[in-house]
A and B are shown apart, each in its own frame.
Chain A
Amino acid sequence: QKEVEQDPGPLSVPEGAIVSLNCTYSNSAFQYFMWYRQYSRKGPELLMYTYSSGNKEDGRFTAQVDKSSKYISLFIRDSQPSDSATYLCATEENTDKLIFGTGTRLQVFP
Chain B
Amino acid sequence: ETGVTQTPRHLVMGMTNKKSLKCEQHLGHNAMYWYKQSAKKPLELMFVYNFKEQTENNSVPSRFSPECPNSSHLFLHLHTLQPEDSALYLCASSREGYGGANVLTFGAGSRLTVL
CB within 8 Å of B: which residues of A?
Answer: 2, 4, 8, 32, 34, 36, 41-46, 49, 51, 88, 92, 96-103
Closest Cβ of chain B to A52, distance in Å, is 11
B96, CB-defined interface residue at 8 Å: yes
Q: Tell me which of A4, A32, A88, A101 contacts B101 (CB under 8 A).
A: A32
- Chain A residue numbers with a CB within 8 Å of B4 are 43
Q: Can you name 12 A-B pairs with beta carbons within 8 Å?
A: A4-B42, A32-B102, A41-B108, A42-B108, A42-B109, A44-B106, A46-B103, A49-B103, A88-B43, A92-B102, A96-B94, A97-B45
- Kindly count the residue-residue contacts between A and B in the assembled complex, taking CB atoms under 8 Å apart: 54
Contact A102 B108 (CB under 8 A): no
Chain A residues whose CB sits within 8 angstroms of the CB of B103 once the complex forms: 34, 46, 49
The one of B41, B90, B94, B101 that contacts A43, using a Cβ cutoff of 8 Å: B90
B106 touches A101 (CB 8 A): no
- For A42, list chain B residues within 8 Å (CB): 108-109
- B87 at the binding interface (Cβ < 8 Å): no
Tell which of B40, B97, B104 touches A98, judged by Cβ atoms closer than 8 Å: B104
Residues of A within 8 A of B56 (CB): 97
**Contacts A44-B90, A44-B106 supplied; 8 other A-B pairs, CB < 8 Å:** A32-B100, A42-B109, A43-B92, A43-B109, A97-B45, A98-B102, A100-B42, A102-B41
Q: For B90, what are the chain A residues with a Cβ–Cβ distance below 8 Å?
A: 43-44
A86-B107 Cα distance, complex, nearest whole Å: 16
- Other-chain residue from B40, B43, B94, B101 in contact with A100 (beta carbon distance below 8 A): B43
On whether A51 and B101 interact (CB within 8 A), knowing A43-B107, A43-B108, A43-B109, the answer reads yes
